Amino acid sequence: MSSDRKLWFMPDEGEPHQRTWMAFGASRKIWGKKLLPDVQRNLATIALAIAQYEPVSMLVRHSDVPLAQQLMGSKVELIVCPLDDLWMRDTGPVFVATENGDKAAVDFNFNGWGGKQDFDDDAEVAVFVAQRAGVRHIQTEVILEGGSIEVDGQGTAIITESCVLNTNRNPGVSKAQCERELKRLLGLEKIIWLPGSIGKDITDGHTDFYARFARPAVVVACYDPDPTSSDHAVTKAHLEILRASTDAKGRALEVVVLDAPSTVRGKFANDDFAAGYINFYVCNGAVIAPEFGDERADLAAKQALQRLFPERKVVQLNIDGIAAGGGGIHCTTQQEPMV
């Protein structure tokens, strides 16, 4: 593993952003004819919602520029770039900073979630974004995606073992080796490992569908109460680990549970549908979160997020097309911190 004398750290998502990066990369090949138009509209809806609070830079294939302009107008910056798909959280770099105001972008070597999908173009996105942002590009031998990392900005991270310690990403790399490198790159002092779930979805169980920091020592976690669900035992185990954990400062974690909706709108419901409220995105002045048509659960999630983020407006969006593909709002975004 490479050495670096600068003390880099990954800021908390709630710290001020310079911009949000996204990718208008859905294709018929991956998403299919039925889902594609809705997914593209969902991406525009997310981008326009965020653009009310901070600048949004959207990567877009040359052939999709006219449609992107039609959907988003001049409110979102469009940047032509080859793309395989839309998951900027995973393909883009993870931005880090120093206390002196330097900024860099860590490239975690996106490999299609362990070779599950074509990634030739998306593997180049992290370098492209770093260059476009005008910041240093930091390389590492570790392979992972941004969706597997959740930090509090004060030295603590929550990471799923099922993703990062998976042989389809980091064969032969021990947990101790992985910890050393992530601590160096992201300014971490403590990693809370959750087991996650291998093979249930394309990501092998990203953290940002299970647990998120609302602020230091306060974690929002999901719980699937359905005993017949494959996520029931996983989320129950996660809650037990989180409730027994302390952060890097020695503080016990306060764990706030967001129950999944009991129903979703029928049009796009399928086995891959990602029906959970944890995959929200915190931008300057707002929390951009999903709603699924379950009035009781949608309202409960909105009220819980409003209590957790009292200084921000909670904006709920219908992103059923993206959810039908197993993703959420957080998965489509990557924050560039302001330093």
Taking CA 170 as the corner, what is the angle to CA 128 and CA 241, rounded to the nearest 5 degrees?
A: 105
* Secondary structure (DSSP) of 43-100: HHHHHHHHHTTS-EEEEE-GGGHHHHHHHHTTSSEEEE---S-S-HHHHSPEEEE-TT
For 65, phi and psi rounded to 5 degrees? -60, -50
Looking at the annotation, which residues are catalytic? 331
CA distances from 139 to 105, 110, 132, 174 (A): 9, 12, 17, 19
Nearest by Cα to 311 from 338, 286, 290:
286
Provide the Cα torsion 82, 86, 90, 94; round to 10°: 70
Taking CA 85 as the corner, what is the angle to CA 325 and CA 292, rounded to the nearest 5 degrees?
A: 30
* Cβ neighbour number for residue 300 with a 10 Å cutoff: 15
Residue 92 · residue 21 · CB < 8 Å: yes
